[in-house]
A = this chain, B = another copy of it.
């Protein structure tokens, strides 16, 4: 369905992508310089070389230009999750799918850093950013639920440990999808605060380790 991702031969399509990227980049750069709420749609449009009206053909609101970086990142995560080895637990599978996508983030370190800077200065944009992931969250929960239903892990081959039957799988899937999103956000925030000290991947792994351990009280 989303097979033709990056390499699209359509000339028309390419130009649309270029325009969208130009608008997004102009928005982020202007926001980093003057502060997000001092950047008008008119300024963004002018910097990207299109009319104000055209801006609204690409983004539903001014804030979206600051928020939506890569529109189909969610789709890639979903694909990765669908092709994850059946041996992995849901939490592990999701962790790996996210890690793969987020390694891309570290490669475009500069743009993301700028982006993080803008979001930090304007909390309400960060909130919007969360909202952008919420739609993904629902879809992700569906995939997780299906994964659980189809392929029970049975890693060791024998019956399960003396562990309570946890009720609705829907609830589990939703919770996992939501918590994973939260984990990504917290990881990014923490890494963004101590930018030069830590590798993002380490923070990310640490966070998921904490989750898998059941958020135990830290040993001081």
A→B interface (CB under 8 Å): 89-91, 123-124, 126-128, 130-131, 134-135, 148-149, 152-153, 160, 163-172, 174-176, 178-179, 181-183, 185-186, 189-190, 203, 206-207, 209-220
Summarize A's interface: helix, strand, loop or mixed: helix
Contact A213-B216, Cβ < 8 Å, known A167-B206, A178-B185: no
- A126 CA to B134 CA, complexed, in Å: 10
Closest-CB distance, A111 to chain B (whole angstroms): 24
- A153 CA to B215 CA, complexed, in Å: 14
Tell me whether A182 and B190 are in contact (CB under 8 A). Answer: no
Tell me whether A209 and B166 are in contact (CB under 8 A). Answer: yes
Contact A171-B190, Cβ < 8 Å, known A127-B127, A166-B210: yes
Q: A179-B179, A179-B183, A212-B214 given. 14 additional CB < 8 A pairs?
A: A91-B214, A123-B135, A127-B127, A127-B131, A148-B220, A152-B217, A153-B217, A160-B219, A166-B219, A175-B211, A175-B215, A178-B182, A213-B214, A214-B214
Contacts of A182 in B (CB 8 A): 175, 178-179, 181-182
Across the A-B interface, the 3 shortest Cβ-Cβ residue pairs: A127-B131, A214-B214, A89-B217
Look across to chain B and name the residue whose beta carbon is closest to the beta carbon of A147. Answer: B217
Tell me whether A215 and B176 are in contact (CB under 8 A). Answer: yes
- A217 CA to B161 CA, complexed, in Å: 12
- A127 CA to B123 CA, complexed, in Å: 13
Residue of A211, A212, A215 with highest tally of chain B CB at under 10 A? A215
Contacts of A218 in B (CB 8 A): 148, 166, 169, 172
Tell me whether A174 and B148 are in contact (CB under 8 A). Answer: no
Q: Which of B124, B164, B174, B189 contacts A190 (CB 8 A)?
A: B174
Tell me whether A186 and B190 are in contact (CB under 8 A). Answer: no
Contacts of A163 in B (CB 8 A): 213, 216, 219
Contact A166-B127, Cβ < 8 Å, known A91-B215, A220-B148: no
